[in-house]
């Protein structure tokens, strides 16, 4: 059982930056591909970014490519999402999730993920 706790959300203005953090309880944290998803009110959850167990491969949704950066520190059981040049359309609850390595192919499919955090709100004002 992996417990995930997100932090770092808040209210910012368009163009600002935020860094989200996700702390994992499991010491086998490095055995998981980690992802970030988001969900705005009235919309479906959408994939944002993912990173493989060693951090050597990263994936991004087209909507955030070039603005967001995902990273991880396996020694600290942490994964991060650096969000730059934020836009009002980035407003959502952001969720951290863990995906068993053998399912990494489906990194952008939330239904494949095994564990989820409770989410952190990001609000970007115009």
With bands split at pLDDT 50, 70 and 90, how would you rate the model's confidence at 22? Answer: very high
The whole-number average pLDDT for the span 6-12 is 97
Give the pLDDT confidence score for residue 27 in this predicted structure.
73
Please write the tens of the pLDDT for every residue from 86-118: 999 999 999 999 999 898 899 999 999 999 999
**Tens digits of residue pLDDT in 52-66:** 998 889 999 999 999
- How many degrees, rounded to 5, is the angle at CA 14 between CA 46 and CA 8? 60
What's the rounded mean pLDDT across residues 8-21?
98
pLDDT at position 29 is 81
């Amino acid at each position: 059982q992996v417990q995930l706790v997100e932090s770092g959300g808040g209210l910012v203005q368009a163009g600002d930056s935020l860094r989200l953090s996700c702390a994992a309880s499991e010491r086998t944290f490095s055995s998981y591909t980690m992802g970030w998803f988001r969900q705005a009110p009235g919309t479906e959850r959408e994939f944002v970014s993912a990173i493989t167990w060693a951090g050597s491969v990263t994936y991004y949704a087209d909507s955030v490519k070039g603005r967001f950066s995902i990273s991880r520190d396996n020694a600290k059981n942490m994964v991060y999402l650096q969000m730059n040049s934020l836009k009002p359309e980035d407003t959502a609850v952001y969720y951290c999730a863990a995906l068993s390595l053998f399912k990494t192919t489906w990194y952008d499919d939330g239904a494949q993920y095994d564990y989820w955090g409770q989410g952190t709100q990001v609000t970007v004002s115009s």
